[in-house]
Copies of this chain bind each other. A is one copy, B any other.
Amino acid sequence: MNVTFNPGPSQLYFTVQDHVRKAFRDGIPSLSHRSKEFESAFEKATTGLKTLLGIPSSFSIFFTGSATETWERSIQNLAEHQSVHFVNGAFSKRYFEIAQQMKRNPFKIESAPGKGFDTDYNLPNQPELIALTHNETSTGVSLPLSFIHGFREKYPEALIIVDAVSSLPYPDFDYSKIDSIFFSVQKGFGQPAGLGVWIVNERCIEKSEQLLRKGIDIGTYHNLPTFFANAKKNQTPETPNVLGIYLLGKVVEDFLRRGIKTIRSETEYKAAILYQTLKNHPLMNPFVQEQAIQSKTVIVADCGIHTERISKYLLSHDVQPGDGYGEFKKQHLRFANFPAHSKEQFELLVGYLNQIV
């Protein structure tokens, strides 16, 4: 095959190259971002996403440069005094650290890498912004949807923001229990990197307007009121990644045609055969042991001292695993399970893994 299971930038969705070819034929890269044609590409991407993911029409969709930018902008626009973070790996930690750098006095509930969180955590009184990393890309822990959806009732005043960078479009969130969610296109949407997608409801817009009225710095061209005023006209505050927005609309259309139910059930099938293989394998184990929090979209194998050998074997068959992240570089391999990865590719991957003894 010749496929990358690196969690991101990852395998391109198989239609992307054709869409790029058509984009060049149709002059998309030279399109003025103030033209009607751009506005329809913007509308196609945003309404398509809402349909695909079941996002209520009252939510707005904005485009940033990266999910990293969304980390910063979300703290800047949504936290005046304090954000609360659930930290269980490198990426949830980085979100927390960004809030520290921005002096928003963040509070963290911490758990060990590969672990989830107890439900009897103690949050500060009246938390303002609760930041949850749905899928910790570094270790393959996924927070259960029931855990994420449980905050609304306990903390009705808090804004709840979910980093779903490496899980969407798989999870079926209840958007009445979430105020904001974000991802970037080079993971589950199988596109070239360089575009972040930030989805917010009206409460987020109101909060940022409150901060603005209080004279708090919420940024300039990428603050929520400016995003909102532009998005109402299917426009962006700056010259954006026009090609990326066009491609997102096209890929979402492909996903809609395939059906979100099919995408979800195939994701579950592929995850099941890989976890099964890891569990029964003499040389490796799932790093995340507790089944309820095993990510379906980033599956991490604890290969210990066999890591390099397994990696080399896969590479010799043109299969590229993702390296372990950070401290786990020498003992883990990570396997993205995105819509771009077919069932056949997962069956072959599992076959290769079973050949290693």
A311 → chain B closest CB, angstroms = 14
* In the complex, A347 has a CB within 8 A of chain B: no
A226 → chain B closest CB, angstroms = 9
CA distance A16 to B23 in the complex (A): 13
* 1/0 contact string of A238-272 vs chain B (CB within 8 Å): 11111110000000000000000000000000000
Q: Report the stretch among A106-114, A118-126, A187-195 that lies at the interface.
A: A187-195
Residues of chain B within 8 A of A331, CB atoms compared: none
Size class of the A contact interface (CB-based, 8 Å): 35 or more
* In the complex, A219 has a CB within 8 A of chain B: yes
* In the complex, A33 has a CB within 8 A of chain B: yes
- From B67, B184, B221, B240, A193 is in contact (CB under 8 Å) with B240
CA distance A192 to B9 in the complex (A): 19
Q: Which of chain A's residues 181-235 have a Cβ closer than 8 Å to chain B?
A: 184, 186, 191-195, 217, 219-222
A255 → chain B closest CB, angstroms = 18
A246 → chain B closest CB, angstroms = 10
* In the complex, A41 has a CB within 8 A of chain B: no
Known interface pairs A72-B220, A98-B220, A217-B102. Does A194 touch B193 (Cβ–Cβ under 8 Å)?
A: no
CA distance A20 to B8 in the complex (A): 20
- Asked if A6 contacts B30 (CB within 8 A), the reply is yes
* In the complex, A147 has a CB within 8 A of chain B: no
A93 → chain B closest CB, angstroms = 13
- Asked if B239 contacts A68 (CB within 8 A), the reply is yes
Known interface pairs A184-B239, A193-B241, A194-B194. Does A9 touch B24 (Cβ–Cβ under 8 Å)?
A: no
- Asked if A32 contacts B6 (CB within 8 A), the reply is yes
CA distance A160 to B356 in the complex (A): 60
- Asked if A242 contacts B30 (CB within 8 A), the reply is no
Chain B residue at minimum C-beta to C-beta distance from A20: B20
A240 → chain B closest CB, angstroms = 7
Q: Which of chain A's residues 16-61 have a Cβ closer than 8 Å to chain B?
A: 16-17, 20, 24, 27, 29-33
Instruction: Report A's interface with B, CB cutoff 8 A.
Output: 4, 6, 8-12, 16-17, 20, 24, 27, 29-33, 64-69, 71-72, 98, 101-103, 184, 186, 191-195, 217, 219-222, 237-244
Give 7 pairs: A residue, B residue, CB < 8 Å, sorted on A: A12-B29, A29-B193, A72-B219, A103-B217, A192-B242, A194-B244, A217-B217
